[in-house]
Structure 1
Amino acid sequence: MKTRSSWQVTCAVWHAMFMREIVARTMKDRMAWFWMLAEPIAMISLMLLIRTIVLGRSNMLYNAEFVPWLIVGLLGFFLFRENMTRSIGAVDANKTLFSYRQVKPVDAVLVRCFLESTLKSFIFLLFIAAGVLLDLKLLPDLPLEAMFVWLSLWMFGLGIGLLLSVASGLVPEIGTVARIMAIPLLLLSGVIIPITMLPTFLHPYILMNPIVHGVETLRMSFFERYVTLPEIDLMYMWYWTLTMMALGLMLHIRFEMRLKEA
């Protein structure tokens, strides 16, 4: 029998785990696809209602139409959030597979994050297609930059997910706190409220949040004339991404046996 290389074994493991995850994610609950689409639609409808009541029917927001501005921000944030929160349970959900020595806890996190990014990208494409049919400005002005920023938000979510998957495996309460933090992060990341509307003295604190840089850069790639804070810098988010990924991978190596036995 021909011996497979380490890379071939890893690819086979990832493929098998991906098929297992995608069936569990999309077929276990007959309403799974509905909820994937219903959440952003419900959030967008709610924000439109609030904006109409509070600010009237003005459709422009810093040289960007409000509905596309909100859709881009929400879906960019959801991409990060799903990678962060769903990584927390990835190790426990695949614990029965660790009896095979080829399967590592980190594989479960990587595969689940790849699946989440694939699903969120597909949903984003559906929103873009619907936007074109409804005559909404949802085609990016800078498509290559938009794809790179989308990838950057996914990588940042993956970095945080790698770290939290180990931390929550060792201390389960950390996972609970991380899931709760997803709600205030939505409010503090410029997803719903434009950061330029906030008081000037708050800007330095808001800009410490790397998600803000990713979401605002994604909007700038969709709306070329969009006005935001000049301090927005995607590289700042990448510094966080690389740090979190390195730390997360080191923790997975250090606590691999603890995660398998926990």
Structure 2
Amino acid sequence: MQYGDQTTFRQSLAIQCRVINALLMREIITRYGRNNIGFLWLFVEPMVMTLLIVLFWRYIRADAFSTLNIVAFAITGYPLMMMWRNASNRAIGAISANISLLYHRNVRVLDTLFARMLLEIAGATIAQIVLMGFFIAIGWMNMPHDTFYMLLAWLLMAMFAIGLGLIICSIAQEIEAFGKIWGTLSFVMFPLSGAMFFVHAIPSQYHHYVLWVPMIHGTEMFRHGYFGSTVITYENPWYLLICNLVLLFVGLLMVKHFSKGIEPS
């Protein structure tokens, strides 16, 4: 790559970063406003949902049936699920909410999608960190066994959330009814995410079928990072990475295809 090409690439990257940043700020102000706690709702919403689930599991004393820390089990499963579910749900309305901005030369359809999904990923990430820190501080959870492995699992699931969001948005653009029912479909997929079980807990003859689901590998990997050798997990990071790359490739092609027919209004 020549020096001139490097300069052009850096300039383009700087412009792209400014566009995404501007769209993120606009999304925060539009969605949460400047009143009350404002942008703090970005992570308060997923945090409250996860907290309610954790308190429910603890209230019914689910840990009485297992030596596993039920609070840690819930915290290491539900925020991951909420990240990909919320990212795909929000991606559907990204274009209609920002279509007037497409008049600007540097704003593309893909930018509006990335901005919304990155916002949801950021909210889930902050909620995860705050809740884990809080429960560790009050003694309901222990320190993670392998933080780096947990971080790697989170990044892989963030990639999955983006790839899935691109595809879901593209389908919703072609089939309007799909956009309306995806919220329900994604909720139905919740039990398949691995948030409510370990693969080791189900009969071994079904492991082969269950492990075709990419989200399960992310959840198993995240929990392996937290619990360490005290639990048995069946994650395959390479399988999840390959699924993510396929989703991203297909999603980008689909967005490129329907973007040609989008006219700013």
TM over 0.5: yes
Q: 1:43 to 1:260 in 2, by over 3 A?
A: farther
Alignment of 1:74-85 (within 5 A): 74-85=78-89
Aligned residue number for residue 247 of structure 2 = 244
Between 121-130 and 192-201, the greater mean CA deviation after superposition:
192-201
Q: Distance in 2 between matches of 1:72 and 1:229?
A: 13
Match of 1:39 among 30, 37, 49: 49
Match of 2:124 among 120, 123, 128: 120
Secondary structure of the residue aligned to 1:259 is coil
Q: Distance in 2 between matches of 1:156 and 1:70?
A: 20
What value does the CA root-mean-square deviation take over the aligned residues?
2.4
Q: Distance in 2 between matches of 1:203 and 1:259?
A: 43
Q: Deviations over 1:38-82 (max 9, x none)?
A: 2111222233345x3xx6724523xxx221011111112112222
Q: Deviations over 1:225-249 (max 9, x none)?
A: 242344x212111111100101111
In the alignment, is the contact (CA less than 8 A) between 1:156 and 1:241 conserved in 2?
A: yes
Aligned residue number for residue 145 of structure 2 = 141
In the alignment, is the contact (CA less than 8 A) between 2:84 and 2:157 conserved in 1?
A: yes
Aligned residue number for residue 256 of structure 1 = 259
Q: Distance in 2 between matches of 1:155 and 1:125?
A: 19
Q: Distance in 2 between matches of 1:29 and 1:138?
A: 37
Segments of 5+ residues of structure 1 without an aligned counterpart are: none
In the alignment, is the contact (CA less than 8 A) between 1:131 and 1:137 conserved in 2?
A: yes
Match of 2:13 among 7, 16, 26: 7
Q: Distance in 1 between matches of 2:35 and 2:211?
A: 39
Q: Which residue identity does 2:210 align to in structure 1? A: I
Match of 1:228 among 219, 225, 232: 232
Aligned residue number for residue 27 of structure 1 = 33
Aligned residues: 253
Query: Offset at 1:138?
Result: 4.7
Secondary structure of the residue aligned to 1:38 is helix
Aligned residue number for residue 105 of structure 1 = 109
Q: Deviations over 1:56-109 (max 9, x none)?
A: 724523xxx221011111112112222222111111111111121221111011
Instruction: Name the % identity.
Output: 23
In the alignment, is the contact (CA less than 8 A) between 1:189 and 1:206 conserved in 2?
A: no
Q: Which residue identity does 2:201 align to in structure 1? A: M
Query: Offset at 1:258?
Result: 1.8
Secondary structure of the residue aligned to 1:96 is helix
Segments of 5+ residues of structure 2 without an aligned counterpart are: 1-7
Q: Which residue identity does 1:74 align to in structure 2? A: Y
Q: Which residue identity does 1:247 align to in structure 2? A: V
Q: Which residue identity does 1:42 align to in structure 2? A: L
Query: Offset at 1:30?
Result: 4.7
In the alignment, is the contact (CA less than 8 A) between 1:83 and 1:158 conserved in 2?
A: yes
Q: Distance in 2 between matches of 1:202 and 1:5?
A: 51
Q: Distance in 2 between matches of 1:47 and 1:24?
A: 35
Q: Compute the TM-score of the two structures, normalised by the length of structure 2.
A: 0.86
Q: 1:255 to 1:261 in 2, by over 3 A?
A: farther
Q: Which residue identity does 2:240 align to in structure 1? A: M
Query: Offset at 1:261?
Result: 5.9
Match of 1:196 among 193, 196, 200: 200
Q: Compute the TM-score of the two structures, normalised by the length of structure 1.
A: 0.87
Q: Distance in 1 between matches of 2:124 and 2:171?
A: 25
Q: Deviations over 1:146-173 (max 9, x none)?
A: 1111111111000000111121112122
Alignment of 1:90-101 (within 5 A): 90-101=94-105
In the alignment, is the contact (CA less than 8 A) between 2:103 and 2:264 conserved in 1?
A: no
